Amino acid sequence: MALFDALLELADDHLVLGHRLSEWCGHAPMLEEDLAMPNMALDLIGSARTLYDYAGQVEGKGRSEDDLAYLRGEREYRNCLLVERPNRDFAHTMLRQLYFVAFMHPYWTAAADSSDEVIRGVAGKAVKEMAYHIRHAGEWVIRLGDGTEESARRMADAVDDLHLYTGELFEAGAETDDDVLPDRAALQPAWEVTIDHVFGEAGLTRPVIPHPQTGGRTGLHGEDLGHMLADMQSTHRAHPGATW
């Protein structure tokens, strides 16, 4: 079930971050961002849906995308810790987005050569989406980091809070055949180039974290994920099989 587990890691990353972004819907600081963040959320959730659907087929037990998204508990989720971190403020949200998509862009670029047809399909669409997310989140990190006293303070706080979780992005997860999914560790240099470029313009310094916080790939999450899943899953659990 190695491929099943690897697909869940990937799908969970996308669904959890997509849901986090969707929490801004109706609450964003301005109308323009109130559309931009759900746009990005839907990009991520779209990839998650295809990956869950495929994972269900690979598993062969008849579980649908909804079963996998709504009927697994916190300890069964395999997302990295970064994506479950709460929104806090706009600076945290944009930095978290940049950290993740600066990783996913080279990831999907490499996955475009996968031996797996479904992965190639997701990658082809996601590469374009990730390029835009980097631009959007990156421009905001630059403007907040290099903005007012308050925005610079908030962005520096976000770096302090979130950088600890970036090391897990490059950690090996469930093993698959060599040419199905990219090697995460090999993507770190590309990620650092993107982050350093943005941080250079934003007047931020990339911290060095000797011991990153990890555990998400084995289901060891922070308490925030449980609250998020309770919110996300409650309707489906209260009304099993409901459709609209």
Partner 1 sequence: MANEMPLWEVFIRPRNGLSHKHVGSIHAADEVLALQAARDVYTRRGEGNSIWVVPSSAITASDPEQASENFEPGEKIYRHPTFYDIPEEVGHM
- In angstroms, the CA 153 to CA 145 distance is 8
In the complex, least distance from residue 36 CB atom to partner 1, rounded to whole angstroms:
4
Structure tokens at 170: 């490059």
- Closer to partner 1 at the Cβ: 135 or 237? 135
| Total Cβ atoms within 10 A of residue 198 | 22
Nearer to partner 1, 36 or 164 (CB): 36
Contact between 78 and 9 (Cβ < 8 Å): yes
Query: What's the closest the beta carbon of residue 199 comes to partner 1, in angstroms?
Result: 17
Q: Exposure string (b/e) for 20-48, b if CB count within 10 Å is 16 or more? A: bbbbbeeebeeeebeebbbebbebbbbbb
Q: Which is nearer to partner 1, 16 or 40 (CB)?
A: 40
Shortest spacing between CB 129 and partner 1, in angstroms: 13
Residue 88 falls in which region: left (phi positive, over 0), alpha (psi -120 to 50) or beta: left
Q: How far is the CB of 133 from partner 1 (least distance, A)?
A: 11
Q: Which residues bind partner 1 (CB under 8 A)?
A: 30-33, 35-36, 39, 135-136, 139-140, 143
Based on CB atoms, which residue is closest to partner 1, 33 or 116?
33
